[in-house]
Amino acid sequence: MSNFEPKLVCFSCRFGWGYLADEDALASQIDNWIPIICSGKIDATHIMDAFRQGADGVLILGCPEGDCHFQDGNFETRKRVYLLQKVLASCGIEPERVRLELSVDPEGKTIAERVKSMNESIKRMGPVKRVPSAA
């Protein structure tokens, strides 16, 4: 499926990602980018909603381990993402469609790159195959 263009949703924590940059300018470079306050806010239902609305993958950018503004929001998300990945895998959906990266980038220069790199790997997977793919 060479002409498949994956749709990605990217959530990033405002405390670690792009807070020095002009958010509007960054947003114009990244499709479906949703800056939020604390990656810990990302509930599994938000991720599932993204898939429900047609996303092929979800990228979550949180702050480095031990560096959460709210103590352990990023670790909470890590638990949630790991659990969700298990569930996706047992439904035959590639767990790599949900990716959590814990790092920091005040200028947000790498966000677009990270989205692009995830896009590439999703491109290789193709669109989400619901189990089992209906005829």
Nearest distance from C-beta of residue 76 to other proteins, angstroms: 6
Q: C-beta of 125: minimal distance to other proteins in Å?
A: 16
Q: Is 113 exposed, middle or buried (0-12, 13-18, 19+ CB in 10 A)?
A: exposed
Which listed residue (9, 60, 88, 115) binds other proteins by CB under 8 A? 88
Q: Which is nearer to other proteins, 80 or 114 (CB)?
A: 80
d(C-alpha 2, C-alpha 7), whole Å: 15
**Residue 84 found at the interface with other proteins (CB under 8 A):** yes
Residue 90 contacts other proteins per CB under 8 A: yes
Residue 97, interface with other proteins (CB under 8 A)? Answer: no
- Distance separating alpha carbons of residues 85 and 95, to the nearest angstrom: 5
The SS3 call for residue 101 is strand
Residues 57 and 115: beta-carbon distance below 8 Å: no
- Counting contacts by CB under 8 A, is residue 125 touching other proteins? no
